């Protein structure tokens, strides 16, 4: 049997690197777009929801790793 530890380590590193690049870029673009959308209040609520969901997902992932 082969061990899946190296594969999981590589997968984790790729996930962390891509997350630290993609999430801030997404919120930066959303902030730049906010001035040009017709329904600013609805857009702000949606981006706020995305932010809370993202923070919850990251927190859950960190908790899952730490609690092992």
Residue 28's pLDDT is what?
A: 92
The count of C-alpha atoms lying within 13 angstroms of the C-alpha of 30, restricted to the half-sphere facing its C-beta, is 17
Instruction: Measure CA 53 to chain center.
Output: 8
Residue 9's pLDDT is what?
A: 85
CB-CB contact of 34 with 44 (8 Å)? yes
Residue 49's pLDDT is what?
A: 94
Please report, for the chain, the start and end positions of each structural domain, with discontinuous segments joined by +: 5-66
User: Is the pTM here over 0.75, yes or no?
Assistant: no
Residue 67's pLDDT is what?
A: 84
pLDDT along the chain (68 residues), means of 10: 77 87 90 90 92 90 83
């Amino acid at each position: 049997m082969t061990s899946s530890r190296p594969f999981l380590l590589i997968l984790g590193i790729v996930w962390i690197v891509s997350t630290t690049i993609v999430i801030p870029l997404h919120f930066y673009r959303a902030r730049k777009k906010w001035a040009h959308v017709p329904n600013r209040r609805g857009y702000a609520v949606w981006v706020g929801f995305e932010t809370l969901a993202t923070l919850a997902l990251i927190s859950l992932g960190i908790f899952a790793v730490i609690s092992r």
